[in-house]
Amino acid sequence: MKKRILSGLRPTGKVHIGNYFGALSNWVKFQKEYECFFEVADWHVLTTDIEHTDIMQQQIIETVKDWLAVGIDPEKAVVFVQSGVKEHAEFHLLLSMLVSVPRLQRNPTLKEQIRDLGKEEEKISYGHLGYPVLQTADILLYKPEKVPVGEDQLPHLELSRELARRFNTLFGETFPVPEPILSYAPRVPGIDGRKMSKSLNNAIFLSDTEQEVESKIRKAFTDPKKIRLGDPGHPDGCVVFAYHNLVNKEEVPDIRKNCESGKLGCVECKKNCAFEMNEFLNPIRERRKNLSDDFIREILKQGTEKAKEFASNTMREVREKMNLWR
């Protein structure tokens, strides 16, 4: 019997290379080893953006096209839409009774998000404060033994583990306490050197054209002290060097040596980087071209039905254990 894992991403419409190297590339590998549930976390988008629901459906489709184009296989994994499984909302409500407000306010990722959004803490919504509880519902409904996480998400998983234990203590053994799978997730900077993010307008997307990639890399942040060919450079901290590390690994030692000695100039280095990035993205673009909206809708319909079957069994058990009206 394969162990089960659950992981999800927000449907931002366009998946960027940070999402790919941080999560999706691992998901593709996990499919061989685990029974996988991959969630399109559309309700999570609403916790930070409630004003653009009109574009959500198309964003879901575009996101899942990218997932399939990089190798997520709906024959091997259940790919589903969170809002299509209403049990997530019901369980979220019940779990929210098991956690205190100060416990949620201590969430370090929430503080980081508030800072990135430029919001004041007292102005965030009730839904935003409680998103780690929704995330816990997303996880526990599928009773996974493992959850893949980056180091920055460990505090969320810790809350999910606490809530699983709390539920089991109050109502009887029901949920496995999920263990993290800490997978390698390199920090992928945006072209301006900040964290890569669609909202910061600094991302390279899997669906970008060759010209878009070239233009973005041409503008990317490099060592500010290296102005012309011959100047010795410092590749650590250079965005272009970080991209070489992702898509052009074999040449990294030479790039470092030639950058530091001044033999390699930034113009040439960026050109090479754009070429390698496009070589990496070309097969993904090719596969994406052949995925129609209707095909994606059908994949999501089937995946969401499978997820719903699993989640409704869990909720039946939860209602029984909690002695709720049924």
Q: What are phi and psi of 6, to 5 degrees?
A: -130, 135
Of residues 156 and 270, the one with the C-beta less far from ligand SF4: 270
Of residues 128 and 270, the one with the C-beta less far from ligand SF4: 270
Residue 251's identity, in one-letter code, is E
CB of 245 to ligand SF4, least distance (A): 10
User: Rounded to an integer, what distance in angstroms lies between the CA atom of residue 233 and that of residue 228?
Assistant: 10
CB 12 within 8 A of CB 203: no
Of residues 159 and 238, the one with the C-beta less far from ligand SF4: 238
Of residues 6 and 264, the one with the C-beta less far from ligand SF4: 264
User: Rounded to an integer, what distance in angstroms lies between the CA atom of residue 148 and that of residue 5?
Assistant: 7
Binding site for ligand SF4 (CB under 6 A): 222-223, 226, 233, 235, 238, 240-241, 255, 259, 264, 266, 269-270
| Residue given tokens 């869990």 in the structure block | 314
User: Rounded to an integer, what distance in angstroms lies between the CA atom of residue 131 and that of residue 110?
Assistant: 9
CB of 25 to ligand SF4, least distance (A): 23
User: Rounded to an integer, what distance in angstroms lies between the CA atom of residue 248 and that of residue 257?
Assistant: 15
CB of 197 to ligand SF4, least distance (A): 21
CB of 191 to ligand SF4, least distance (A): 12
Supply the DSSP symbol for 135: H
Of residues 8 and 233, the one with the C-beta less far from ligand SF4: 233
CB of 155 to ligand SF4, least distance (A): 33
Q: Which residues contact 2 (CB under 8 A, 6 or more apart)?
A: 33, 34, 35
